[in-house]
Amino acid sequence: MKTPFEYRNGALHCEDVPAAEIAAQAGTPCFVYSAGGILARYREYSEAFGDIPHHVCYAVKANSNTAVLRQLAAAGAWFDIVSGGELFRVIHAGGQADRVVFSGVGKIASEVDYALASGIHSFNCESESELDLIDARARLHGTRARVSLRVNPDINPETHPKISTGLRENKFGIDIAGIERVYEHAHALPNLEPEGVSCHIGSQLMKPDPVMESAARMIDLVGRLRARGLPIRHLDLGGGLGVAYSPGGSTPSIRDFVERLSGRFAGLDLTIFVEPGRSIVAESGILLTQVIVRKRNQLKEFVVVDAAMNDLLRPTLYEAHHEIRPVLQRSGHTLTADIVGPVCETGDYLALGRQLPAVEPGDLLAVFTAGAYGFVMSSNYNARPRAAEVLVEGGAWSIARRRETYDDLVRGE
Ligand SMILES: *Cc1c(COP(=O)(O)O)cnc(C)c1O
């Protein structure tokens, strides 16, 4: 499947379902995900590894809707989580805990306990104190915890500074310099089994080269650790492969990326883990929104829509570009406008100075490439109920999360 979204006779479809039909029944704003698109990207990863032992651990934080997790679990995916809440979601969706790796820079005791009690596969540890914590909790549980150390390989991933994680100045991971000593510390703890090395250098990487470079450093490290008698069984390269958000851009090929990586691992007797999030779900999601009003001042034209920064934070947080097009194609003249939401913040916009067909109040717009870091980053700011989420499978669609109500807003207060 090239893209799950296409115009047929001028009407945007997700797989075989008209987007306008979903908007009419589910309302707006509404995230729409293509199950077929998501599974195709997952399989592209999994198949490209061929005979190399591997696990594709979907990074739950990119899109943690249980309907999405259920699809991936059924296809055989493993999961990368960064919180106890994400573990709960995976289990709730029917995922197996023994296919979960737990990353994150600040795990707390209750999360470690929950993960141990659930029987997750392993922890990606980000500090020496965390090793001590997991060792202590594992002793209480009468078990041994498999751990992998998340190494900071000090590599510039050449991406937006807010999503670069593998530089020395970032909070993530443990310095690669001196990491051998940390492994020996882990090895000496009675309730830990240090069996892996991991890294994750950043997100939205448009070139595989920085990942290749960090893979090379990690393979070297595996050799050094094994030479010290430390049994390393798996290497986790994290996620990070980017997608094209602008029409001219081209999305890096998953197949080429994995095949280049795999070339390096033949004969190493290592199971390779990858943790892709964005590259699996981003392009299989859109956000549907309706135009509320058009207004102009002396300088500018504004299209005010019913989706806002509380629904899709990426433009505000990362200056991210998302393509925005009418759900029903229209010809005729165009306008150049800021596409903004109703939230009381100057930073509340989906696009600035964007050219688009001259839409009118009531028209539907689709914000593309919104399947990753979209709904998961949404909030109730301005007491706005969170959007609905819909999953499309071929010609059928269903509500994957109902739109929040006003009662949801005050639940728990
Ligand atoms: C965010 C994250 C990922 C996923 O990154 P993508 O860019 O979405 O592929 C993988 N691993 C870890 C540890 C992460 O924090």
Minimum-distance ligand 1 atom for the alpha carbon of 276: 9
Using most ligand atoms within 8 A of CB, pick from 55, 60, 61, 273 the residue to mutate for ligand 1: 61
* pLDDT at 11 (0 to 100): 98
Question: Is it the case that residue 263 has pLDDT exceeding 70?
Answer: yes
Region 379-403: mean pLDDT is 98
Backbone angles phi, psi at 282, to 5 degrees: -55, -50
Class assignment of domain 104-274? alpha beta
Interatomic CA distance for residues 197 and 61, integer angstroms: 21
* pLDDT at 88 (0 to 100): 98
Whether residue 13 contacts residue 364, with contact meaning beta carbons closer than 8 Å, is answered with no
Q: What is the 3-state secondary structure (H, E, C) of the chain?
A: CCCCEEEECCEEEECCEEHHHHHHHHCCCEEEEEHHHHHHHHHHHHHHCCCCCEEEEEEHHHCCCHHHHHHHHHCCCEEEECCHHHHHHHHHCCCCHHHEEECCCCCCHHHHHHHHHHCCCEEEECCHHHHHHHHHHHHHCCCCEEEEEEEECCCCCCCCHHHECCCCCCCCCEECCCHHHHHHHHHHCCCEEEEEEECCCECCECCCHHHHHHHHHHHHHHHHHHHCCCCCCEEECCCCECCCCCCCCCCCCHHHHHHHHHHCCCCCCCEEEECCCHHHHHHHEEEEEEEEEEEECCCCEEEEECCCCCCCCHHHHHCCCCCEEECECCCCCEEEEEEECCCCCCCCEEEEEEEEECCCCCCEEEECCCCCCCHHHCCCHHHCCCCEEEEEECCEEEEEECCCCHHHHHCCC
Residue 379 CB neighbour total at 10 angstroms: 12
Report domain extents, the chain: 5-33+283-410, 104-274
Q: How far is the CA of 49 from the centre of ligand 1 (A)?
A: 19
Q: What is the percentage of the chain residues whose pLDDT exceeds 70? A: 99
Question: Is it the case that residue 1 has pLDDT exceeding 60?
Answer: no
59 CB less than 6 Å from ligand 1? yes
Region 250-256: mean pLDDT is 91
Q: How far is the CA of 193 from the centre of ligand 1 (A)?
A: 24
* pLDDT at 199 (0 to 100): 92
389 CB less than 6 Å from ligand 1? no
Reported confidence tier of residue 207, pLDDT bands at 50, 70, 90: confident
Give the predicted TM-score (pTM) of the model.
Answer: 0.96
64 CB less than 6 Å from ligand 1? no
- Closest by CA to 96, choosing from 124, 60, 120, 112, is 120
84 CB less than 6 Å from ligand 1? no
41 CB less than 6 Å from ligand 1? no
Q: How far is the CA of 217 from the centre of ligand 1 (A)?
A: 19
* pLDDT at 396 (0 to 100): 98
Using most ligand atoms within 8 A of CB, pick from 103, 148, 158, 174 the residue to mutate for ligand 1: 103
Q: How far is CA 7 from CA 3, 18, 134, 285, 358, in A?
A: 11, 9, 51, 15, 18
275 CB less than 6 Å from ligand 1? yes
The residue type at 304: V
Residues designated as active site: 344
Interatomic CA distance for residues 124 and 2, integer angstroms: 34
Reported confidence tier of residue 3, pLDDT bands at 50, 70, 90: confident
Minimum-distance ligand 1 atom for the alpha carbon of 202: 7
Q: Look up the CATH architecture of domain 5-33+283-410.
A: Beta Barrel (2.40)
238 CB less than 6 Å from ligand 1? yes
* pLDDT at 170 (0 to 100): 74
Q: How far is the CA of 149 from the centre of ligand 1 (A)?
A: 16
Domains 5-33+283-410 and 104-274 share a fold: no
Using most ligand atoms within 8 A of CB, pick from 203, 235, 278, 279 the residue to mutate for ligand 1: 203
103 CB less than 6 Å from ligand 1? yes
